[in-house]
Structure 1
């Protein structure tokens, strides 16, 4: 499962990672994804075919493996069931 963050104009608003604009294709890697990738920061993964650059750490767990910027979230087909490739 994927969720979103970084939607400054949303209701409720959500903060972005410092230095990365809200319109970018960025994400935060959860523990399982970090373990699978090893040196994960700065890598690009494909979430249901949509490229996402990993810039942040997500403390999520369970079946939740990635948080993506809202600008990217709206481009991901079926975000409740994701396939992540790298």
Structure 2
């Protein structure tokens, strides 16, 4: 899944967040994305054979974001 601009929203305090995540979780997700990409440069992020705590946390945050995005879309939150 590619994280594009339509995956972001502003929270009640005006912070740019990934839909379904808090400010802290968004920051953590982006840091983990960079970390995991640096470990396997040129390889797509995938949950196959993931076992490290960082990989599992990234996956949990991605799942939370995906669920939040699905709810947002079903409520008519993003128009194209």
Q: Which has the higher contact order (CA 8 A, sep 6+)?
A: 1
- The structure in which a higher percent of residues are strand is 1
Question: What TM-score range do you get, normalising by the shorter chain?
Answer: under 0.3
When Rg is computed on C-alpha atoms for both structures, the one with the higher figure is: 2
- The structure in which a higher percent of residues are helix is 2
TM-score (structure 2 length as normaliser): 0.23
